[in-house]
């Protein structure tokens, strides 16, 4: 029996697929189009679509353990609930689901509330799952690196409440550890929820300062203007997604994205190494240009 990775070609999913393959696990990677992406050696490609029930039944038919990562799409909840129902139907009792931190607090943000709905299904059906709740990904800032370097402004309006950004590689390391722990267990394990955070609480001003140090010149914080942020995103992407992201940033400005005491130590024990810092991420990003 194998581990099926759903979302296998994205930022997190590709790292999870590689990590499982490196650990010697039997891995299947779900893709919508055959041959579109190169997969790690010994990883089996499975062609299916989360909205095509027949193909998903086949994909889940010989799976022992499931990693479920849904992209932010208008039908994200439908995709996730169908997949979990089919997993129940197939008798899968080892699941890791990628949610988002404070999914129950950011109640007006569509993709947060969507993931919380999925969490509620996992809880109500007492599914043996690990729910991973990551904070803001450091790698999100790759999208604005050119803006930072060309215009000397950090444009993400994360405010001053504090965001414990986490490196995508650390998210993947936790996911791999939990998938292997569940897959190797002789029986289904109890459910657990883990907040995934980085080791520092960051603000817009402190992030700009980090880029200033790495680039050797002053980088300013662009401020908390959410309307301008939405307009910029809507200029090159779907307006529903731009508005969703605006609502998320409003929540970050209001509540922050931090976890409870002891979380960092718990995560470092799980992955066996220190969590990566934002300074590490920025230095690497700058060095690669």
Q: pLDDT for 64-92, tens place per residue?
A: 999 999 999 999 999 999 999 999 999 99
From residue 155, how far is each of 21, 201, 202, 242 by CA, in Å?
Answer: 37, 18, 14, 14
Residue 237's Cβ-count burial label (10 Å; 0-12, 13-18, 19+) is exposed
Give residue 139's pLDDT.
Answer: 97
Average of per-residue pLDDT across 261-287: 97
Q: What pLDDT sits at residue 129?
A: 98
Question: What confidence tier does 259 reach under pLDDT thresholds 50, 70, 90?
Answer: confident
Which tens digits make up the pLDDT trace of 127-185? 999 999 999 999 999 999 999 999 999 999 999 999 999 999 999 999 999 999 999 99
- Determine the pLDDT at residue 38: 84
Q: For the whole model, what pTM was predicted?
A: 0.96
Please tell me which residue, 221 or 35, carries the higher pLDDT value: 221
Q: In which band, very low, low, confident or very high, does the pLDDT at 241 lie, cut at 50, 70 and 90?
A: very high
Residue 236 CB neighbour total at 10 angstroms = 7
Residue 113 lies in a domain: yes
Q: What is the arithmetic mean of pLDDT over 102-111? A: 96
| Cβ neighbours for 90, distance < 8 A, ≥ 6 positions apart | 57, 60, 61, 63
252 is a domain residue: no
Specify the number of domains making up the chain. 1
Q: Confirm whether 91 is domain-assigned.
A: yes
User: CATH number for the domain including 88?
Assistant: 3.40.50.720
The dihedral of CA 266, 260, 226, 277: what is its sign?
negative
- Whether 213 maps to a domain, the answer reads no
92 domain-assigned: yes
Question: Does pLDDT of 35 surpass 90?
Answer: no
Contact criterion met (CB below 8 Å) for 191 and 128: yes
Residue 203 has pLDDT above 90, yes or no: yes
Show the domain range for 265.
2-137+165-196+259-271
Q: Which of 27, 26, 66 lies closest to 50 in space, CA to CA?
A: 66
Determine, yes or no, domain membership for 78.
Answer: yes
Residue 52 lies in a domain: yes
What are 137's strand-pairing partners?
Answer: 166
pLDDT of residue 118: 98
Residue 221 maps to a domain: no
């Amino acid at each position: 029996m194998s581990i099926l990775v759903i979302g296998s070609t994205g930022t997190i999913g590709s790292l999870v697929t590689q990590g499982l393959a490196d650990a010697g696990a039997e891995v299947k990677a779900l893709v919508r189009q055959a041959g579109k992406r190169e997969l790690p050696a010994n990883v089996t490609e499975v062609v299916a679509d989360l909205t095509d029930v027949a193909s998903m039944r086949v994909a889940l038919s010989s799976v022992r353990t499931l990693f479920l990562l849904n992209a932010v799409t208008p039908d994200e909840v439908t995709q996730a609930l169908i997949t979990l129902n089919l997993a129940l139907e197939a008798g899968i009792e080892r699941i890791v689901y990628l949610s988002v931190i404070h999914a129950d607090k950011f109640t007006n943000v569509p993709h947060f509330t969507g993931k919380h709905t999925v969490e509620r299904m996992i809880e109500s059906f007492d599914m043996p799952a690990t729910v991973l709740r990551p904070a803001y990904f450091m790698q999100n800032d790759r999208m604005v690196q050119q803006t930072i370097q060309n215009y000397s402004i950090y444009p993400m309006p994360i405010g001053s409440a504090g965001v414990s950004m986490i490196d995508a590689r650390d998210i993947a390391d936790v996911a791999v550890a939990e998938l292997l722990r569940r897959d190797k267990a002789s029986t289904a394990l109890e459910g657990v929820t883990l907040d995934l955070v980085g080791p520092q609480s960051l603000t817009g001003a402190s992030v700009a300062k980090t880029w200033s140090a790495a680039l050797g010149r002053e980088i300013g914080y662009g401020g908390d203007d959410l309307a301008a942020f939405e307009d910029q995103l809507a200029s090159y992407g779907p307006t529903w997604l731009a508005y969703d992201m605006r609502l998320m940033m409003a929540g970050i400005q209001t509540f922050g994205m931090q976890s409870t005491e002891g979380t960092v130590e718990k995560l470092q024990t799980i992955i066996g190494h220190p969590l990566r810092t934002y300074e590490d991420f920025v230095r690497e990003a700058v060095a690669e240009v």
